[in-house]
Amino acid sequence: MDPLDESENGNGDDSLNPPIDDLTPAREAQDWDPETVSDWSQIPDDPNFTAEEDQTTKYALHPDDRIWRHPSELQYLAPDAESVRRSKKARGLIGLSLTSAVIGAAVASLLVVSLLRPAPQIVERVVEREITTANISNTDLGLQRSMGVADIAAQVTPSVVRVEVLRNGRVSGTGSGVIFRDDGYLITNAHVVSYETDFRVVLASGNTFRASLVGLDRRTDIAVLRPDQKMSNRFSPATLGSTDNLRAGEIAIAIGSPLSLRGGPTVTVGVISATNRRLQSPQGDWLYELVQTDAPISPGSSGGALVDRSGAVVGITTVIAVTDVGAEGLGFATPIEIARDVAADIIQWGRARHGRLGISGLDATVNLLPPSHAAGVYVQSVDPQGPSAQGGLQIGDVVVELNGRPVPDMGALVVSARMLEPGSSASLRIWRDGQLMTLEIDVAELD
């Protein structure tokens, strides 16, 4: 597996000055023969030439037959006074007629619309809670799907911030963050904040505020920051989407604050390269179900937003792929569903509460699956003291569903298990000895 790197590197600008070509001196006037040369672009300036001379006999072509004009020929282009007067009068009459027609059409249109259009309805935004959380996008809205990249960037940029880590009053590191509540709570990466206590948040507008750490979770590389003081203004929370229907090839927009650049977030565009990726972070933790994109992501963009074509945030950018030869042009983002659930746990409990089933396994091969399912997880080991063992799960079983939803692979099972509420009950649909059966499991908490 290729190593991953999140180092903060600067960049410089190089510029090149194009060489200046030598100028070729013009031919002398006496070397030019008007009787033999018909190329008007080669006519030299002749101080002895006057406008009163008969140019049609001196030169091979009449000026009206050519695009190029010599300065001495402008007399042919100047209109006489009578022509100018007639032209102005004609233009005035035409302009008056067109203006009258336009005004008449506009008045008629307003009358028709006022008669046919129903009375306008005023729609108010209803705030059901004191704190407005991020909206959940409806990806089926055709209007949202037709938005251009510039419109999406304008919509999302106010929700993306630069996070500056302060140590002894000085900036020791930077990253990005996404505001998801209108009271200023924001999601970023755990490796950006790294258990520090003093942070400065820079909004897209350039305004700043101090923030403190609410909590972090290294298993998902998610952390939450909040303003140190209650802010008089309300923030603009991002619209959070879903990765369920993401497909490789769809447009992806990465918005973050790379390289500590001033002037607001940076917007880059690419596609969704793949989904359900499994990678080991630079900090050593395994990250599951990552969204892969080729939208350029630079150091400092960690914690920023990966946005779909509807303008909804579908991931929190986490790592970039780097090999011995440098960046590989691939970035990875934590699915927004995971980030949202972890952030909610951190705010409520001060930590992320992950569910635990107590099993490990491999993606099941086709010959191990029941005819009714196309994917599942072959159980390799079961913790004897864990909840799955107590619920009756055995080595060799194939897990095909969790709480009624298909299990496509081991990574998906790990993520789904972590998102279970500790203390709740979960159902496992398994394939054993040619039979499908359901086991009830009491979910434990992952330490």
Q: Which residues carry out catalysis?
A: 191, 221, 302
Residue type, 101: A
Give the pairing of strands 405-406 and 425-432. unpaired
DSSP string, 147-194: --HHHHHHHHGGGEEEEEEEETTEEEEEEEEEE-BTTS-EEE-HHHHT
Separation between Cα atoms, residue 6 and residue 282, nearest integer Å: 8
Residues in the chain: 447
Q: Look-up: residue for tokens 């755990």?
A: 190
Q: Specify whether the CB–CB gap between 431 and 369 falls below 8 A.
A: yes
Cα pseudo-dihedral 259, 260, 266, 269, rounded to 10? 20
- Rounded to the nearest 5°, which phi and psi values hold at 169? 80, 0
Q: Mapping DSSP to helix (H, G, I), strand (E, B) and coil, where does residue 275 land?
A: strand
Q: Look-up: residue for tokens 């191990």?
A: 368
Nearest to 56, CA basis, from 41, 28, 42, 76: 76
